[in-house]
Amino acid sequence: MPRTARDVVFVDGVRTPFGKAGPKGLYAETRADDMVVRAIRELIRRNPSLPPERVDEVAIAATTQTGDQGLTIGRSAAVLAGLPKSVPGYAIDRMCAGAMTAVTTSGAGISFGSYDVVIAGGVEHMGRHPMGEGVDPNPRFLADKLVDPTALVMGSTAENLHDRFPQITKERADAYAVRSQEKVAAAYAAGKIQPDLVPTAIRSADKGWGLATEDEPPRPGTTLESLAALKTPFRVAGNVTAGNAAGLNDGATACLLAAEDVAAELGLTPKMRLVDFAFAGVEPEVMGVGPVPATEKLLARNSLTMDDIGLIEINEAFAVQVLAFLEHFKIADDDARVNPWGGAIALGHPLASSGVRLMNQLARLFEERTDVRYGLTTMCVGMGMGGTVLWENVNWEGAK
């Protein structure tokens, strides 16, 4: 039978507040699966016209698929969230781009006609499951010189980027980090971040039950002077610090995708339209440049240039990685299109969950910026990859 690709829309997205990983963090005694269950339940609550049985798939990413973020978490979270047992689910892993890949994979299924409605997202409890926990890298990676020894240490790959782009100095990276903190503080003060946050129950053996209502990682008042004094843990006299990189964080995200015609049928209001996506590989030891070829591939395939892109949500794993992307595309370090409400250096980066956080913020920005037609969500990925998704604003005034 002939098949026609369908338009895919991003209907809604939510996330838990992000916490600091570790024994004193928000979620130190909260399970990872409970965090993503909270996000899924909130999606269903916010979209009452969606019958839960109409959800065709639940795709949830985790980088470290063990313990309370293992057990095919897409399926287990669907059951725990109270979705009908008829709703299937699966787990996915592309390190930092896990949730992004959950969206692109399940979205492609919608376009193909296999699904009508899906929930996609990610979770990472880095306090319970540090990145690389239980991993046994094949000795051939080093013995056969397939990768540089620094490839498996993300902070070291960022130092390698500074080597490759000596014009991106520590001072320039610190200045970018300060702006990220300032933008997040301003966005919080203006009430821009809060609509995406799901108040999430937390517990402590000492303090009892509580409620997480805002992100824990931001450090308002950060200055260039305070960042200049930080240690460089990945290299003596290096450039990468805890201040110009994302921290170790816990958090979960989830979003609702649908075929555009099905969204209309169910009375769901889309926020943006999925146009295309691309992933690309690079040398693992400089994984931070991954967004560059992914974005180049995507723009070329859609006959666009960066001048056509009105908003860019790029994950701030490291300031140097963002600056390398901006420099390649001849975008100023302080271009207003880039992360207008700040990014992961301030908000945090719970690995596999972060892709949907980028989408949530882009969707909110699209609602305000009806003059903007196209936006990107893009990120670097461990082991030498990059991913970029092209979105179209359904509220674009040029379409009226």
Q: Helix count (H) and strand count (E) of the chain?
A: 12, 12
SS3 call for 311: strand
Structure confidence at residue 207 as a pLDDT band (50, 70, 90):
confident
Q: 150 and 383 in contact (C-beta within 8 Å)? A: no
pLDDT single digits (tens) 292-309: 999 999 999 999 999 999
CA 178 to the chain's CA centroid: 20
Selected catalytic residue, list 129, 162, 255, 380:
380
**Residue 204 pLDDT class (50, 70, 90 cuts):** confident
- Token couple for 118: 């899906």
Mean pLDDT (whole number) for 11-31: 97
Statement: residue 389 has pLDDT above 70: yes
Identify whether 349 is a catalytic site residue: yes
Of 102, 100, 107, 119, which Cα lies nearest the Cα of 42? 119
DSSP letters along 344-382, please? HHHH---GGGHHHHHHHHHHHHHHH-TT--EEEEEEEET
Q: Which of 96, 129, 162, 255 is catalytic?
A: 96
Task: Pick the catalytic residue from 125, 129, 162, 349.
Answer: 349
Q: pLDDT tens digit string along 51-87?
A: 999 999 999 999 999 999 999 999 999 999 999 999 9
Whether 255 is catalytic is no
Backbone angles phi, psi at 314, to 5 degrees: -110, 135
The overall average pLDDT reported for the chain is 96
Identify the bridge partners of residue 341 per DSSP, sorted by sequence position.
none
Does residue 338 contact residue 314 with C-beta atoms inside 8 Å?
A: yes
Q: Is 319 helix (H, G, I), strand (E, B) or coil?
A: helix
The reported pLDDT for the residue numbered 239 is 98
Task: Please tell us whether the domain made up of 140-193+274-391 is placed in CATH 1.10.10.10.
Answer: no
244: closest CA among 140, 169, 313, 186?
A: 169
Task: Indicate if 380 belongs to the active site.
Answer: yes
Whether residue 1 is predicted with pLDDT greater than 80 in this model: the reply is no
